[in-house]
Structure formats: C-alpha cells, structure tokens
Chains A and B, each alone.
Chain A
Amino acid sequence: EVQLVESGGGLVQPGGSLRLSCAASGFTFRSYWMNWVRQAPGKGLEWVANIKEDGSEKFHVDSVTGRFTISRDNAKNSLYLQMNSLRAEDTAVYYCGRTRPGATVDYWGQGTLVTVSS
C-alpha cells in the first residue's frame, strides 16, 4: 500500500524557516517524480515544487523561488521542502504527492499545516 506521511509543519513567525518531510513507503520511491502541493485555508490547490526521480532536476513555482527548496533522499525514501523567509501568504496545508506521467498526482499524503504568523 502506497503511503505518504508528511511532518514538520507548525507555527512560525514571518521571516522564519521550516523544513517539511515526507516519508514514503509501499512503492519504489526512487522511480517517481515527487511533488509538493499546498492549499491555503478555504482556497484551491497550488503546486509548489517538484523533483525528478534522481534529484537532478527540480522546479519551483515563481512565488517560492529563491525561498523554498525541494530535495529528496532516495536511500531514506524521503522528500523534503526547506522553506525560508516565510511569509503570511505561505500559510497553508502542504501535501506531498507521487507523480505519474503528465504531472498527475496519483497518491497524496494527509498534509501538514504551516501557519506563518506573529
């Protein structure tokens, strides 16, 4: 059974940092692109970043470029999102997702809430 479990969310002050983790199991992690997608309270889904199977390519949405960095450790079956210089508008539930061809996210984690507030 495919499982994705996020952790690392919480309350952080504007300008602060957080590192989200996503532990994957039930599939060959190193064979899939992976994504982070977020959802602000009461809002829709927004793609944040994705990373190639071997980590050699990674892409971030413009609004987080230079502040967030996606990474992965295939030996640990884990996906990460380092978030720096956090802003109030980054407040959201962050989901990790396994990606199939065509950027379809076929499995989602349960999400972790990030709240940026003073």
Chain B
Amino acid sequence: QSALTQPPSASGSPGQSVTISCTGTSSDVGNYNYVSWYQQHPGKAPKLIIYEVSKRPSGVPDRFSGSKSDNTASLAVSGLQAEDEADYYCHSYAGSNDFGVFGGGTKLTVL
C-alpha cells in the first residue's frame, strides 16, 4: 500500500490562505469519507485537526477546513498565523482490518 501523496512544502504570508493537497487512490481516499489531517510542531506529538474529511475537533480554529474530490483530499488554512508553521500529515482509511495510510507530510512555512 503506497503512501498518500502530499507536496513536501507549502508557504504563505501572514493573513493569506494556503491549501495542501493529499492524493490517494480509489481504494482509500476515493472510497471512504475517513480522511484526517494532523498538525505536528517540531519535537511535539501530532495533533488531530480535521477528521472525516471536513470535521474539526473541539478547539481547532475554523481557519482550518478540509474537503475531498474524487481521490484527492485538501486542507485549507485561511488567515495564516505564525503558529500555523508546522508539518501537516493526511491519513486515509483503507478498509476493515487495515489501519490505512499516511501521506508523506507537508512542511508549511509562514513567511
């Protein structure tokens, strides 16, 4: 099972918006509405910021939003802030008895 494809890097200036893509296949992203996104700051554990494609856990700012079209999921961050600078990983479920697959990660830089 191959990793989901994410761009290695993305960037934007404070206040701007940025979108990170996550491309899978019809066996994972395209077949299930179980795409999640994680934010990881250096030296810290990952934190869930989006689950089931577009839902936000309590406490996650609404500046973060998720969507999906066919085999590609996307994470949009609007009104970029300095604290948004982190690594972002997508994940998709791939069926029963299978944990699924992570993306390779995208390093978001706030210029």
Residues of A participating in the B interface, judged by any CB pair closer than 8 Å = 35, 44-47, 50, 57, 59, 61, 95, 100-111
Contact = CB atoms under 8 A, between A and B. Distances in A.
Interface of B: 3, 32-34, 36, 38, 45-48, 51-52, 57, 89, 91, 93, 97-105
Contacts of A111: 45
A102 B32 contact: yes
A50 B99 contact: yes
Contacts of A50: 99
Contacts, number: 65
Interface of chain B, main secondary structure: loop
Contacts of B105: 44-45
Interface of chain A, main secondary structure: strand
B99 A110 contact: no
